[in-house]
Amino acid sequence: DQQVKQNSPSLSVQEGRISILNCDYTNSMFDYFLWYKKYPAEGPTFLISISSIKDKNEDGRFTVFLNKSAKHLSLHIVPSQPGDSAVYFCAASARGGYQKVTFGTGTKLQVIP
């Protein structure tokens, strides 16, 4: 049972444009959501998170939006840069992040120069 779903395995975007990565979840106990970025031969790197008490969190070029009623979150990258090319994992946790983190299957983003 995949509790965190990333339905787009890959995404290609032109440099300078917006990248939008989507994620859906099924477990209503999740109240803390995270995005990780992973380059080949490296472990995932934490990017940005959002608590269920918010609907938006911004950090530089990265913004995460949370729609609790739809059980959907998205990561916006503006403007996209070639260095953003990586696999992005959506993840979720319960109890404010104090329980195990459940990951999605990842979306491979390619930013074309």
Partner 1 sequence: ETGVTQSPTHLIKTRGQQVTLRCSSQSGHNTVSWYQQALGQGPQFIFQYYREEENGRGNFPPRFSGLQFPNYSSELNVNALELDDSALYLCASSLGLAGGGQFFGPGTRLTVL
Verify binding: residue 20, partner 1, rule CB under 8 A. no
Binding test (CB under 8 A) with partner 1, winner from 13, 66, 73, 91: 91
Verify binding: residue 10, partner 1, rule CB under 8 A. no
Q: How far is the CB of 95 from partner 1 (least distance, A)?
A: 9
Verify binding: residue 102, partner 1, rule CB under 8 A. yes
Binding test (CB under 8 A) with partner 1, winner from 73, 77, 86, 89: 89
**Among 61, 9, 77, 4, residue whose Cα is nearest residue 34:** 4
Binding test (CB under 8 A) with partner 1, winner from 42, 69, 70, 83: 42
Binding test (CB under 8 A) with partner 1, winner from 14, 26, 28, 45: 45
Separation CA 85–CA 68 (nearest Å): 28
Sites of contact with partner 1 (CB under 8 A) = 4, 6, 32, 34, 36, 41-46, 49, 89, 91, 93, 97-106
